[in-house]
Amino acid sequence: MALSEIPHQNTFKILVNLHGFTAENFDAHKRFRTIIPAVLADYGWKVGYVNLFEESAAITLTNHNGIQCVAAAHVHHDKSKIDKYSELFNSENEQFYTSPARAKTWIESIKMNQ
């Protein structure tokens, strides 16, 4: 719903906070593992970890209504997963955290070009 409120031909940054989320079963886990990359791909963003999964081949980057994601912070409580993602995929515009507060501070520090 929040993405639909972004004016056309604009940019945004996002905080994806899954801290505390635990899927009840593998199908639910797989859905959450794919939904965020798929939605962000609609806004020209390829999540760093997406190539770890076979579903990545089906992802096509577009710019829905000319809207572009320019930065993403991801939060999850699984320290081993986040440590791995941080080591492999952290960049100047994408970071992985176990602390929602640290992720919020970082994403707020990203300057937007308007």
Residue tagged 């999540």 (tokens): 47
Task: Provide the pLDDT confidence category of residue 79 given band limits of 50, 70 and 90.
Answer: very high
Average pLDDT of every residue of the chain: 89
Tell whether 87 is covered by a domain.
Answer: yes
- Residue 30: the pLDDT is 67
In a domain, 53, yes or no: yes
Establish if 114 belongs to a structural domain: no
Entry pTM: 0.87
Q: Tell whether 60 is covered by a domain.
A: yes
Helix (H, G, I), strand (E, B) or coil at 103: helix
Q: In whole angstroms, give the CA distance from residue 3 to residue 52.
A: 26
Q: The dihedral of CA 82, 18, 43, 71: what is its sign?
A: negative
pLDDT tens digits, one per residue of 31-61 = 766 788 989 999 999 999 888 877 777 889 9
* Residue 31 covered by a domain: yes
Give the pairing of strands 11-17 and 94-97. Answer: unpaired
* Domain region containing 47: 3-109
64-83 average pLDDT score: 95
Number of domains in the chain: 1
